[in-house]
Amino acid sequence: MKRMRYIQHLLGLAALILVMFACAPQIDDSVDIGQAPTADQLDFSVTSGGTDFKFVLKNTSAIVGIPSWDLGNGSKSTETSPTVTYALPGEYTVTLTLITRGGIATKSKKVVQTKTDYSIFTDPKFIFLSGGTAAAAGKTWVLDSLATGHIGVGPAGTVGLEWWAAGPLAKAAVKVLYDDEINFKVNGFAATLTNHGKSYVKGFVKTSTGYSNAKELDSDFIVDYTPSAGTWFIEDKDGKSYLTLGGSTPMFPCFDVGATNGSYEILKIEQNLLELVCIDRVEGNAWHYQLIPKGYVKPKVKFDVAVSPTANINEFAVKLSNVVIPAGLGISKVKVDFGDGTVKEGSDYNAAMTNIYMRKAPYNVTVTVTTSNETLITNKTVEVTANHPNYVPFLLDAMVTYNDFSEVIMAPVAGQDCGVTIVDNPSKVYPNKSSKVAYYTKTNNQWANAYMQLAPGYRFDLTLQHIFKIMVYGKAGDKILMKLENTDRGGNAWQTGTADLIYTIKKDNTWEIAEYNFAGVSAGWDWTGDQFTSDVTTSSKFNQGFYNVVRIMCNPGVGEGTHKFYFDELSGPHVEGLKSALIK
């Protein structure tokens, strides 16, 4: 029984390591699951890698398993035959760990290096990172907290910014992240992490050696941690450069994501910039880092923003002026949000961007300039003093917006036997530049409808205004119905409904204003007696304190197939007691 528990323990440990080294070769089925390997069954060779400083390690064990290497210079590897660099004289202990179906065994050998690779002391990468031989105290780096993407994540094979790129001070709540620093000395290739007793780490590494008292904050964890001294080295492989960090306890550039083998690909290294990406050993994602030297003040691109009217009616031009770009920097993108839903962007910072405003109002213009090392934002106000001649007023007197799905909501809009979701505007052009709109879709249901029901105690007032409006966007020829109902009769609310008003969409995929005028519209059924009128706007039983539901249908009465359209800006008569809609 004890033997079985021992085997199960080994299998569990092997399974864990198999997950960690998922890209490594699979264990051969010929290995007897009951036979634990021994050190004398393991062996590896050490041969020249083509220079005096590179060595090739090759697993030559008598049994088959998954190799894991401690290279003796602070680096780890899970490659079958890794190449290692020993640039300084010394005795390096290489340890091979082999995981088999029967268990785990290790074997170590010493590699003696008698020569020095003096070229590393003049290599710009080594000098940029550590300050070189002239910097006895080394060089200290911190996260570039004001830069977009100072940390980020993406899929393996990318630079680690595709899924998320932290904006400036995005982790301001995590003070321990931004006060960490890492120092590199060329003397002994020593790496020192200064973290003031606490570090910020991913959840899947929070139990690593030396970590304790993990507490979650902003999706990740703060741990108590006193790091030991570590090592660093830069190696070139397959046309890329890699910074490797090692030590008896975790060593990382301010944020521990569990970098595989402590290896970080160097995307960019300059006197005042270090950009890295690594692959975490648990989830296999790419993590991005951007660091700058401690105390370094980055040069800034400077500019003014000029906003001026053009010769066209209600058209304004936005342009950068007095642009100063320090050496080594550049402007990659200029984006202008004109404040009316129009957003334009371009790469030519000398070009003007224009917009025609349709409605009289003050507008906040936001100009975002993306430079080589930061993102700069400037705001300006444009005062449009008159409506454009082509502007068609949407809200009439005694009329309010009930729901525009972006900012205003008096009451929510739901779906009955159909889908009603809030989505991005498919075409942000006049007359509808809203960011969000409603999307209606029904399948094989002839009376499926979107509906808005007022809160208890509130009713539409049709005495001063009896026009409802929505903006619609869909297929030409589709019919969009609107009607009003009263829910006081529960399941018989249909008896109170108005006659159908229908708007037919005129053009494919074009925002149009659909207007529904309930003047002269009948309601109810004559056989219900008190629930019938020939004109809901003139009958005192119907025009005030009665209707509390508006229903919208696409192709009513058609029960086959799927029918869909977008709508927005649901508006209509005043609602007594609600003087304005709730602004989000």
Distance CA 1, CA 552 (A): 71
Question: For residue 14, what pLDDT band results from cuts at 50, 70 and 90?
Answer: very low
pLDDT (mean) for 510-538:
86
Alpha-carbon distances, residue 443 vs 473, 555, 556 (angstroms): 18, 11, 12
Say whether pLDDT at 146 is over 50: yes
Q: Where in the chain is the domain with CATH 2.40.128?
A: 120-293
Please state the rounded mean pLDDT for residues 119-135: 93
Reduce the DSSP state of residue 6 to 3 states and report it: helix
DSSP 3-state of 558: coil
Q: What is the domain class of 2-113 according to CATH?
A: mainly beta
Share of the chain above pLDDT 70, in %: 92
Provide mean pLDDT across the span 72-85. 86
Quick check: 95 pLDDT over 90? yes
pLDDT at 375 over 90: no
Phi-psi region of 477 (alpha: psi -120 to 50; beta: other; left: phi over 0): left
- For residue 160, what pLDDT is reported? 97
Per-residue DSSP letter, 228: P
What pLDDT is recorded for position 36?
Answer: 81
- For 169-205, the pLDDT digits (tens) are 999 999 999 999 999 999 889 999 999 999 999 999 9
**pLDDT value of residue 230:** 94
Convert the pLDDT of each residue in 262-278 to its tens digit.
Answer: 999 999 999 999 999 99
pLDDT of the residue at 22? 38
Q: Which element (helix H / strand E) includes 130?
A: helix 124-130
Dig out the tokens for 264 from the structure: 């970080």
Q: Are 324 and 301 in contact (CB under 8 A)?
A: yes
pLDDT at 531 over 80: no
The count of other CB atoms within 10 Å of the CB of residue 22 is 10
Indicate the range of 19-33, 150-164, 173-187, 265-279 predicted with least confidence. 19-33
> Which band of pLDDT confidence, cut at 50, 70 and 90, is reported for residue 88?
confident
pLDDT of 521 reads 96
Could you tell me how many helices (H) and strands (E) the chain has, helices first? 3, 43
Two tokens, residue 124: 């710009």
Q: Is the pLDDT of residue 298 over 90?
A: no
**What are the percentages of helix, strand and coil residues in the chain, rounded to 5?**
10, 45, 45
Q: To which CATH superfamily is domain 399-583 assigned?
A: Galactose-binding lectin (2.60.120.430)
pLDDT given at position 526: 61
Query: Among 274, 329, 242, 325, which Cα is nearest to 144's?
Result: 274
- Average the pLDDT over 58-84 and give the result: 89
Closest CA to 565 of 555, 550, 551: 555
Mean pLDDT of 252-256: 97
Pick the CATH number of 302-384 from 3.40.718.10, 2.60.40.10, 1.10.1470.10, 1.20.1440.130: 2.60.40.10
C-alpha distances out from residue 351 to 319, 334, 357, Å: 7, 9, 20
Q: What is the pLDDT of residue 528?
A: 55
pLDDT at site 32: 46
Count of residues making up the chain: 584
Dist CA 262 CA 73 (whole Å)? 12
Residue 294 pLDDT greater than 60, yes or no = yes
Q: Which band of pLDDT confidence, cut at 50, 70 and 90, is reported for residue 529?
A: low
Per-residue pLDDT, averaged over 136-162, amounts to 95
Instruction: Write out 495-510 in H/E/C secondary structure.
Output: HHCECCEEEECCCCCC
Computed over every residue of the chain, the mean pLDDT equals: 89
Pairwise CA distance, residues 53 & 73, whole Å: 13
Cβ proximity of 147 and 296 under 8 Å: no
Q: Between 389 and 493, where is the model more confident?
A: 389
Buried residues in 153-164 as b, exposed as e (16+ CB within 10 A): bbeeeebbbeee
- Mean pLDDT for 541-569 is 96
pLDDT digits (tens, 9 = 90+) for 360-369: 999 999 999 9
pLDDT digits (tens, 9 = 90+) for 388-433: 999 988 888 889 999 999 888 989 999 999 999 999 999 999 999 9
**Does residue 510 surpass a pLDDT of 70?**
yes
Q: Helices in 147-292 by DSSP H: which ranges?
A: 175-178
Give the model's pLDDT for residue 407. 86
Query: pLDDT band at 385, cuts 50/70/90?
Result: very high
Distances (CA, A) of 15 to 33, 35, 97, 252, 512: 13, 16, 15, 26, 61
Dist. CA 253–CA 248, nearest whole Å: 16
> What is the secondary structure of 408-455 as a DSSP string?
EESS-EEEESSEEEEEE-S--BTTB--SEEEEEEEES-TT-EEEEEPP
Q: Is the pLDDT of residue 581 over 80?
A: no
CA torsion sign for 71, 254, 171, 203 is positive
CATH 2.60.40.10 in the chain: give the residue spans.
2-113, 302-384
DSSP for 288-323, please give it. Answer: EEEEEETT------EEEEEEEE-SSTTEEEEEEEEE
pLDDT band for 491, please (50, 70, 90 cuts): confident
Tell me: pLDDT of 20 over 70: no
Residue-level pLDDT at 17: 41
Q: Residue 161 is encoded by which pair of tokens?
A: 């910014």
pLDDT at 257 over 80: yes
Of 247 and 476, which is predicted with more confidence? 476
158 pLDDT exceeds 90? Answer: yes
- At 584, is the pLDDT very low, low, confident or very high (cuts 50, 70, 90)? very low
Flag whether pLDDT at 222 surpasses 80: yes
**Would you say residue 72 has pLDDT above 90?**
no
Could you please state the CATH topology (level 3) that the domain comprising 120-293 is classified under: Lipocalin (2.40.128)
Mapped onto helix, strand or coil, the DSSP state of residue 116 is: coil
